[in-house]
Structure 1
């Protein structure tokens, strides 16, 4: 029981933890989310509220752990010490979940072996959370510019700009440990925010690399389960190519010397919208369409009233067909509003829209 004694005697501290939007409840659950979204830090902060002798934190990613012996000993150890809260970080299903008053399994993909277990997702930082993490107090507009460059991983929030790319690449190597995964991530990054199918990714990748279609489809499925990758569908066309979204927007940008501002902005907007509007979709002309509210969102970073009116005018047939009642145009810094016939058109900066939503 030496390894369990070591975990019991020494729980890591979440030094400098900054509160997130989620709250860990006092019952058994599965805390899940994509790599490096802050799950370990959140659960360690929660453990700091529980008496030390009543809790144990077991990290299966610790290279010293011998899982087979731990599996045989863990339940007896919990019972012997009267432990009430058990946290198993990086849980991989290699042994049954132990019994205690509260057991917290920390994973990337949701744990589905126990369908009755409550799930709690911790996504990476949204812009509001980033403002709390940022250690360089500035105007929100400037902070949003920094957010675009540093991305949504908590560990990146305070990294100096001179080493941003170096640190982002360190994360990429850790999250995607094989050459094949890193190559696929590079190709996926090229399509950030754009309609694409897995088969199109395979076709593009196989031109320069030896790759199995089965492997590519299996890897994409794994990324979907781990919340690394998700899709945004086309309204009314379930078989059409979906827009590809990656959970962080700075890592994809770091894969090429030329930047994809639109891909980054699209990812940020999609993540924000999908949180509360699961039916959001795109159309041939509208970046986002919400059928529940009959509203549309367009990305036009450098729009002005004249260019916005022309853009909306070119979409009027589709707007009429869908019965769109309002259009929001997201810009980098411009704000204005006008009416197009009876429809309200409002333009506002990204940072303002995110903080209002």
Structure 2
């Protein structure tokens, strides 16, 4: 059995689908603080199999211990459960440190009791800060984080690395770039509570009329069009990378106790390019305006994926246009 924490979230739900389609039994744990129970129905509709589900706040140490007692067959964890918005973390730093560090420690305490265990950690390209060279390789220095969110990902990596030295646990840290899109069925997708913190759901909500206009944070960066550049990866490609990483550990193909891989497309796209591509793909004209830069944002970040391509046997296959179109189909399905 594979435990997927935050399994009703955006990336978690798509990963559960891929796991089930590869024959893995899945237990989802989610506190529903930023997810809906309806996602479980979407997963079931796609896979024709309903995963086990437990509502639990992973900050509850006793609750986590009871879960492992109830499900001793858990052999691996994919850990998504975390608060994840850079901007919000600048405003609520203590909430981010508590939500992103305490659950990880509680899970590791339980893994430490097992003879053998493995963990896939949902890390982020934010650990690189503003990297000096593009594309970013796994050998790029981890810079001082520009936000509490980024700092929690760096701390999470350090905690896992330190724990692996004194335990039987093996781990893979997946540093992913900017996940976007939705499942092709439009049964699951990105479902933020309240005002979206990420670009694509804000674009789709603006396109459908939920939001008056889209704010583009800064047009004075040293990039070709002045807006920030990111590596946008289809969430289904990202989900498949988690399955590859998990199977690498389960089959004991890992070379080191803790390995890290960048998960992206290897291509940078600016915010204005995203807007233009969305408009061209969907035929919808977006209402947007340029506003001041947002604190915590880096200018440019896109991945070197050579290591993941070679060692995980994984590569991104879906296009930016496919990702944006799937996100739009998902948004429209929510508004029927």
What TM-score, normalized to structure 2? 0.31
Higher RCO (CA-CA < 8 Å; seq separation 6+): 2
Pair member with larger Rg? 1
